[in-house]
Structure 1
Amino acid sequence: MLDWLIRRRIAAFEKTYGYDMSYARELLASHRKGFWRFARVQPMADCRDGVPPEAWYAAKLAAVRAEDCGPCTQLSVDMAREAGIDDAVLRAVLHDDLDALSSDTALAVRYTRAAITHAPELMGLRDDVQRRWGPRALASLALSITAVRMFPMLKYALGHGHACVRVQVGRETIQPPALQPASAHA
């Protein structure tokens, strides 16, 4: 009975976002306990204590883009738009145009990229995040950007990854460039 309910929720999510969740259905069918363990990641991905919404969504988009340039990136864009994040912000993140972002949002993206690439400036950016928003916000940002990368990684590991595709932001179609090290954007 519970599996039936979960499959219905997966189908509803797919319908809402136009996002293929066959990897989740496969995981549920093949390893129910593993599915439930993975399901616990979502609250971690949603952790946003003290981080401004625009900065948080931009960081999540930068993080997911490190693992995926297709459906998961599109899903992140769609969810950010649903939350009211301006298309110009999302386009700037996808185009690597940090000069077009507010200082808060640019900081979150630079911090995310530095964490992902293990860049030498990570500790300075970490300190900047903590000074600007506090230790709880730093922890929230770290948890979120770690968790969102798990979804595309699991998809690829299960054989459900897709080749890079263009991402739609409003009426504009974007082919995000390859992710550059954080130092290229400092």
Structure 2
Amino acid sequence: MFGWLVKRQINAFEKMYNYDMTYARVLLDADPAAFRKFAKVMGIARYRKDVPQDVWTAAKLVGAMAEDCGPCTQLVTTMSEHAGVPPRVLQAILERDFEAMPEDVALGFRFAEAALAHDPEADGLREQVVARWGKRGLVSLSFALTAARLFPTLKYALGEGKTCSRVTVGGKSLAVARHQVA
């Protein structure tokens, strides 16, 4: 019964976001208990308190782009569009165009990138994040960054990762400007 219900949810997710969830089926078929443990991560992936959606999206996309330049980055982009993030903001994030990003979004992006790189600049950016959105805002951005990296890493480890592809935002196809992170 559990497997049947989960497979229906996976199918619905795939349809809603035009996203291949084969990796989730592989996990479920290998061990339903492992899938249940994996599903608990969704709480971390969805946690967003005290920080605007577009800023949270910037941190999430930094994490996704560090691990993937294809389907996972597209999924975060599509989900962000559904959540109301304007295509021009998503395009600026994907192209690493800081001048086109709103100031808050650029802060979230720079913080996430510096944190991933273990760059000492992260300390000052972290202070700005806490000053602007508080400790829960910092946790929100940290969870977004961390969770966004988990999914593509798991997909590639299970053999379900795909090569780089262009990402579509607001009907426009873009190449992702990946920043190599240590």
TM norm structure 2: 0.96
Counterpart-to-counterpart distance in 2, 1:178 and 1:130: 26
CA contact (8 A) 1:119 1:181 kept: no
Shift of 1:85: 0.6
Counterpart in the other structure of 2:82: 82
Indicate how the Cα distance of structure 1 residues 177 and 7 shifts in structure 2: closer, same or farther if over 3 A, else same.
Answer: same
Per the alignment, in what secondary structure is the counterpart of residue 110 of structure 2? Answer: helix
In structure 1, distance between residues paired with 2:163 and 2:37: 27
CA-to-partner distance for each residue in 1:13-56, whole Å, 9 max, x for gaps?
Answer: 11111111011001001021111111111110111110111111
Q: Report the RMSD for the aligned CA atoms in angstroms.
A: 1.3
Give the AA of the match of 1:48: R
Runs of 4+ aligned structure 1 residues displaced above 4 Å come to none
Q: Could you tell me the TM-score, scaled by structure 1's length?
A: 0.94
Structure 2 partner of 1:119: 119
On the 8 A contact 1:70/1:167 being kept in 2, the answer is yes
Q: For residue 181 of structure 1, report the CA deviation from its aligned partner.
A: 5.6
Listed as ranges, the gaps of 5+ residues in structure 1 are none
Matching residue of 2:138:
138
SS of alignment partner, residue 173 of structure 2: strand
Distance 1:181 1:121 in 2: 14
Identity %: 49
Q: Which structure 2 residue ranges, 5 or more long, are not aligned?
A: none
Output one character per residue of 1:52-98: Cα deviation in whole Å (capped at 9) or x when no partner.
Answer: 11111121112111111000000011001001110000000111101
Secondary structure at the counterpart of residue 134 of structure 1: helix
- The number of residue pairs the alignment matches comes to 182
Map 1:92-131 to 2 at 5 A.
92-131=92-131
CA distance in 2, matches of 1:74, 1:56: 16
1:147-186 matches, cutoff 5 A: 147-180=147-180
Q: Per-residue deviation at 1:2?
A: 1.1
Q: Could you say which residue in structure 2 is the equivalent of 1:18? A: 18
User: For residue 27 of structure 1, what is the amino acid of its counterpart?
Assistant: L
CA shift, 1:118, in A, is 1.1
Amino acid across the alignment from 1:26: V
